[in-house]
Amino acid sequence: MNIDIRKNIIDNFNGASTDDIKTSITSSIEASEEVTLPGLGVFFELLWKNSDENEQVFILNAVKKGLEISHLKD
């Protein structure tokens, strides 16, 4: 059985409100379960692909800052 995770996630959120998407992201992060990572990855992929170069630089800097903060907490 071949499952297309990207298509499945995109189809599941087709027509979802920003509140629905935010709730899904927030609950996925709070759950801290590996199973939620593919969905978050699809969201990130969509964000990245639909961002211009300036937005991608902003995203990269935000990820870098998050990594640095996370490292300090360890």
Q: Which amino acid is at 35?
A: V
At residue 61 the predicted structure's pLDDT band, cuts being 50, 70 and 90, is: very high
Number of independent structural domains in the chain = 1
What is the rounded average pLDDT for all residues in the chain? 93
Those residues with Cβ within 8 angstroms of residue 48's Cβ, 6 or more apart along the chain or in another chain: 56, 59
Q: What is the pLDDT of residue 71?
A: 86
Helix (H, G, I), strand (E, B), or coil: what is residue 29?
helix
Q: Which domain does 52 fall in, by range?
A: 5-73
Distance CA 24, CA 70 (A): 22
Angle value at C-alpha 70, between 66 and 74, nearest 5 degrees: 170
Distance CA 12, CA 20 (A): 11
At residue 73 the predicted structure's pLDDT band, cuts being 50, 70 and 90, is: confident
pLDDT in tens, 27-55: 999 998 999 999 999 999 999 999 999 99
At residue 69 the predicted structure's pLDDT band, cuts being 50, 70 and 90, is: very high
